[in-house]
């Protein structure tokens, strides 16, 4: 009975073109963005990695991780409360707090868990708290809100007028928290953070900002994120980030006041009852963040190559979601089956790896590739990607930008 149910559910997503498969990529240290397809004697170019700045390959980072293994061993030994708080944690959490101009920070094993555990904890602890969440917030945010079983409102994406309408339903002294992201990972657009914070102050709401796709060394002074770039760090109550993207390793964190951090540390089950990150991971994160705080070359080159990639795609009339203004370039396909087949052809014929992004990551009918350049993608790589996408679009009869619109966009850019 149970197996039949599972098979039926799997058949449903297969027939809808939404079944997900893994591509086993063995990245080659020192040769990023190249990787080997497992079992095949050929290299492919990766165009959708979250290792935005290539810091996973950085010799300083790798050396710090090797040294930590030699000094402390492989694992942490337990949760933070039971044997898992090694000396490197204090250094990392102090560094993260300093990065965001906050009093303190708290590190979690993943970015998902830092969102999920923090929001569950806050919404359960604050009496009668109301959650107001952007409709395109990450699944980890949605999960944390739903698990808390509080009153919640979803405001239209980046729509401050709708947010204000929802806030108007509650007295100023009613507890509430506004949850949004600085850069949205599937669309590449930026939140109206200034306006959201202004509303939060007006209505006495806490603000929770997910900087996962912006804080990772790529925006703002010293790579500290969109809030820092807009000089809003002191105005945001809670900043959440990850070390699994341009920092190049793994782990999540929040940064906030001493009292809020101590509250999450003391009450959040998702923090208390989980094994801490191993010393080598923490050492690598420290080395990567310290490097990115002192060097701008990688993020400067990333933005240059992103501009070059935009122009190359536009010249081939490849449709990129117009709202994208960041390093995330959503190449629109609009059909789940074609998206999967296009990805397979890119890999098999052109040696290019792009993962098809289908429902539930994006809405049905908005299937896409989520493309991002890195500092180590060359102009040759970019030209090859644009030409390969052009061939694949033609092969599967995927709509291109019309010539007049492409020319107009080219003039604007």
The percentage of the chain sitting over the pLDDT mark of 70, rounded to a whole number, equals 97
Calculate mean pLDDT across residues 63-82: 97
Active site (catalytic) residues:
245
pLDDT at 254: 97
Calculate mean pLDDT across residues 335-339: 93
C-alpha to C-alpha distance for 255 and 212, rounded to whole angstroms: 13
Judged against a pLDDT cut of 60, whether residue 412 lies above it is answered with no
pLDDT at 301: 95
* Domains with residue ranges and CATH for the chain: 57-294 (3.40.640.10)
**Confidence band of 16 (pLDDT split at 50, 70, 90):** confident
pLDDT at 193: 95
- Write phi, then psi, for 274 (nearest 5 degrees): -140, 150
User: Which H/E stretch holds residue 34?
Assistant: strand 34-37
pLDDT at 216: 64
C-alpha to C-alpha distance for 139 and 136, rounded to whole angstroms: 9
**Confidence band of 262 (pLDDT split at 50, 70, 90):** very high
**Confidence band of 17 (pLDDT split at 50, 70, 90):** confident
Judged against a pLDDT cut of 80, whether residue 210 lies above it is answered with yes
- Write phi, then psi, for 25 (nearest 5 degrees): -110, 125
pLDDT at 212: 87
Calculate mean pLDDT across residues 206-224: 84
**Confidence band of 230 (pLDDT split at 50, 70, 90):** confident
Judged against a pLDDT cut of 60, whether residue 410 lies above it is answered with no
Contact (CB, 8 A) for 368 and 331: yes
Judged against a pLDDT cut of 90, whether residue 226 lies above it is answered with no
The structure's pTM equals 0.93
Closest Cα to residue 182, out of 125, 232, 126, 140? 232
């Amino acid at each position: 009975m149970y197996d039949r149910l599972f098979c039926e559910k799997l058949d449903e997503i297969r027939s809808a073109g939404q079944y997900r498969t893994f591509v086993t990529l063995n990245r080659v240290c020192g040769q990023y963005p190249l990787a080997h397809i497992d079992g095949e004697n050929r290299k492919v170019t990766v165009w959708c990695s979250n290792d935005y700045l290539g810091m996973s390959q950085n010799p300083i980072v790798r050396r710090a991780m090797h040294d930590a293994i030699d000094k402390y061993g492989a694992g942490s030994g337990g949760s933070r409360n039971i044997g898992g708080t090694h000396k490197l944690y204090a250094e990392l959490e102090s560094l993260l707090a300093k990065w965001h101009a906050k009093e303190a920070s708290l590190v979690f094993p993943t970015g998902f868990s830092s969102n999920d555990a923090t929001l569950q904890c806050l919404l359960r602890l604050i009496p009668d708290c109301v959650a107001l969440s952007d409709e395109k917030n990450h699944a980890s945010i949605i999960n944390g809100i739903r698990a808390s079983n509080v009153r919640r409102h979803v405001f239209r994406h980046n729509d401050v007028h709708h947010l204000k309408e929802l806030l108007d339903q509650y007295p100023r002294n009613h507890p509430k928290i506004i949850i949004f992201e600085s850069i949205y990972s599937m669309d590449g657009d930026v939140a109206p953070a200034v306006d959201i914070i202004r509303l939060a102050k007006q209505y006495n709401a806490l603000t929770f900002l997910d900087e996962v796709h912006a804080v990772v060394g790529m925006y703002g002074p010293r790579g500290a994120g969109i809030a820092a770039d807009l000089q809003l760090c002191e105005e945001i109550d809670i900043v959440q980030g990850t070390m699994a993207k341009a920092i190049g390793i793994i782990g999540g964190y929040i940064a906030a006041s001493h009292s809020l951090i101590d509250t999450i540390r003391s009450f959040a089950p998702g923090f208390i009852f989980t094994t801490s990150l191993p010393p080598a991971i923490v050492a690598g994160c420290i080395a990567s963040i310290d490097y990115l705080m002192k060097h701008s070359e990688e993020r400067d080159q990333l933005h240059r190559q992103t501009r070059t990639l935009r122009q190359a795609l536009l010249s081939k009339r490849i449709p990129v979601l117009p709202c994208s203004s960041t390093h995330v370039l959503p190449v629109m396909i609009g059909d789940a089956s074609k998206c999967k087949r296009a990805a397979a052809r890119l890999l098999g014929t052109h040696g290019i790896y792009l993962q098809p992004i289908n429902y539930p990551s994006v809405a049905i009918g908005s299937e896409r590739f989520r493309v991002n350049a890195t500092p180590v993608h060359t102009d040759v790589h970019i030209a090859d990607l644009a030409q390969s996408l052009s061939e694949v679009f033609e092969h599967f009869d995927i709509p291109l930008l019309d010539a007049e619109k492409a020319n107009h966009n080219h003039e604007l850019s």
